[in-house]
């Protein structure tokens, strides 16, 4: 008898609506996890007793968003949608199966996911989407994935939403250590079926981008909530903020304890437990918030990729998903090869090995809007003809690959363009 692969096992499931186990697990998380993060919630529109099919969407601040948005809605149940590759990880696989989570291959078309979402909606259930496709890297939103508007318009059912505030600050992407503090969640209705009927998919996505946009750093500059950042709160922040805003050099930033500084010119700041960056002295040049720093960094990369001869090369290890067993010890892939990853104006090229054999591929820039990030800024992934491939760079260049790839995609006319509004104004 032929052995069934993990992939086939996952994608042969017919997803039903959650059963009572959803409420049992949700109540346990509500009792033991919510108090730790001081989750506060408000309802502009209370839909907890809503009947019939619906979509629920939210900004994606952190890895705990499923708990932050799901707990206050109990006993209302939803089928969450999560990254397909996460179903291959042993510590998540059983929970996802019990809660009837729907798998989705991020940033690529996935007919299986669309069918299973339709199955739940047609049965009268609710589906929760985080339409950005990945939890925030910078502390603020990225544009929703192309196709979100088309999906919502097709089904024409009520769409509810939430905005999570403070979620990123409890577990920033550059360092996933828990930092307990305050999280606020605000709920509302985003679309009625009648509104979806009269809007185009593009208009729907524009409204979502505007309504869900949030910047945790700008928000907490006003709120002043304290987070348990410990004595190493800035550790690995240089993975995210790799450019010095004073001397302009790249990959010269370093961190120690709660400080970030440039090894070339001495520019630097101290991170407080409200996430303020306090300059060392009056000679230092430090943006108002980490998000402002990140946005300036993007502008610098945008100018860099505008040059025809732009290229970024890095030695990487290649990771893939094992066929017949789940990943253990919270691994995100299994190393199967090594080689060189090159990004230029045409797209992304890998040249190296896979399972001891020569292996190369190229993905055109218009087909590569961005990447996925399973954990922190030590690695990143994409899908090659539907197959998960993950890259482990030798140096700390992950965020530069992200920014450069996104800006090349946009420069070459790709569908996933940046926000049409001023992000700094939207955050205020």
What are 18's two structure tokens?
């959650």
pLDDT value, residue 31: 87
- DSSP assignment of 82-127 equals EEGGGGGBHHHHHHHHHTTPEEE-TTS--HHHHHHHHHHHHTT-EE
Long-range contacts of 103-109 (CB under 8 A, 24+ apart): 103/10, 103/11, 105/383, 105/386, 105/388, 106/133, 106/134, 106/145, 106/372, 106/383, 107/133, 107/145, 107/369, 107/370, 107/371, 107/372, 107/382, 107/383, 108/382, 108/383, 108/386, 109/147
pLDDT value, residue 34: 81
Per-residue pLDDT tens for 159-189?
Answer: 999 999 999 999 999 998 999 999 999 999 9
What are 121's two structure tokens?
């909606």
Q: Which of 406, 394, 307 is CA-nearest to residue 348?
A: 406
- Pair 276, 216: CB distance under 8 Å: no
Task: Give the C-alpha separation, 227 to 185, whole Å.
Answer: 17
Helices (H) and strands (E) in the chain, counts: 13, 17
Tokens 């397909």 correspond to what residue? Answer: 84
Q: Which of 33, 34, 26, 38 is CA-nearest to residue 183?
A: 38
3-state secondary structure of 381: strand
Q: What domains does the chain contain, in order, with CATH numbers?
A: 6-223 (3.40.1130), 237-305 (no CATH), 311-411 (2.30.29.30)
pLDDT value, residue 170: 96
Per-residue pLDDT tens for 398-422?
Answer: 999 999 999 999 999 999 999 998 8
Task: Give the C-alpha separation, 125 to 105, whole Å.
Answer: 22
What are 326's two structure tokens?
């789940």
From first CA to last CA, the distance across the chain in angstroms is: 61
Per-residue DSSP letter, 135: -
Q: What is the pLDDT along the chain (428 residues), one digit of tens a residue?
A: 678 999 999 999 999 999 999 999 999 988 888 888 999 999 999 999 988 999 999 999 999 999 999 999 999 999 999 999 999 999 999 999 999 999 999 999 999 999 999 999 999 999 999 999 999 999 999 999 999 999 999 999 999 999 999 999 999 999 989 999 999 999 999 999 999 999 999 999 999 999 999 999 999 999 999 999 999 999 999 999 999 999 999 999 999 999 999 999 999 999 999 999 999 999 999 999 999 999 999 999 999 999 999 999 999 999 999 999 999 999 999 999 999 999 999 999 999 999 999 999 999 999 999 999 999 999 999 999 999 999 999 999 999 999 999 999 999 999 999 999 887 766 65
What are 228's two structure tokens?
């348990």
pLDDT value, residue 301: 98
């Amino acid at each position: 008898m032929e052995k069934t692969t993990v992939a086939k096992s996952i994608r042969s499931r017919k997803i039903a609506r959650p059963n009572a186990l959803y409420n049992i697990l949700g109540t346990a998380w509500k009792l033991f996890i919510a108090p730790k993060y001081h989750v506060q919630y408000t309802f502009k529109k209370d839909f907890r007793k809503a009947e019939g099919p619906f979509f629920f969407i939210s900004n994606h601040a952190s890895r705990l968003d499923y708990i932050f948005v799901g707990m206050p809605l109990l006993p209302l149940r939803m089928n969450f949608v999560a990254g397909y590759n996460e179903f291959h990880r042993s510590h998540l696989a059983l929970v996802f199966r019990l809660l009837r989570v729907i798998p989705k291959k991020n940033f690529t078309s996935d007919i299986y996911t669309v069918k299973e979402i339709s199955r739940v909606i047609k049965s009268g259930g609710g589906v929760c989407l985080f339409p950005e496709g990945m939890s925030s890297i910078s502390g603020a939103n990225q544009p929703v994935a192309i196709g979100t508007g088309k999906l919502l318009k097709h089904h024409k059912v009520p769409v509810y939403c939430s905005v999570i505030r403070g979620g990123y600050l409890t577990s920033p992407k550059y360092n996933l250590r828990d930092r307990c503090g305050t999280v606020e969640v605000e709920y509302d209705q985003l679309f009625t079926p009648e509104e979806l009927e009269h809007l185009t998919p593009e208009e729907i996505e524009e409204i979502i981008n505007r309504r869900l946009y949030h910047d945790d750093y700008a928000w907490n500059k006003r709120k002043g909530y304290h987070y348990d950042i410990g004595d190493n709160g800035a550790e690995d922040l240089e993975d995210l903020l790799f450019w010095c805003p004073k001397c302009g050099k790249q990959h010269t930033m370093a961190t120690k304890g709660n400080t970030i500084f440039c090894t070339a010119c001495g520019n630097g700041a101290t991170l407080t437990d409200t996430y303020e960056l306090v300059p060392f002295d009056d000679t230092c040049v430090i943006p108002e918030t980490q998000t402002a720093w990140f946005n300036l960094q993007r502008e610098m990369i945008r100018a860099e990729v505008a040059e025809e001869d732009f290229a970024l090369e890095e030695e990487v290890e290649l990771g893939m998903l094992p066929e017949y067993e789940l990943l253990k010890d919270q691994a995100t892939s299994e190393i199967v090869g090594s080689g060189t990853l090159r990004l230029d104006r045409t797209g992304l090229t890998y040249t190296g090995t896979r399972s001891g054999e020569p292996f190369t591929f190229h993905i055109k820039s218009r087909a590569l809007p961005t990447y996925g990030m399973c954990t922190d800024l030590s690695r990143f992934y994409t899908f090659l003809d539907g197959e998960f491939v993950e890259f482990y760079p030798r140096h700390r260049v992950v965020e530069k690959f992200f920014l450069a790839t996104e800006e090349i995609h946009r420069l070459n006319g790709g569908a996933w363009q940046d926000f049409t509004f001023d992000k700094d104004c939207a955050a205020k």
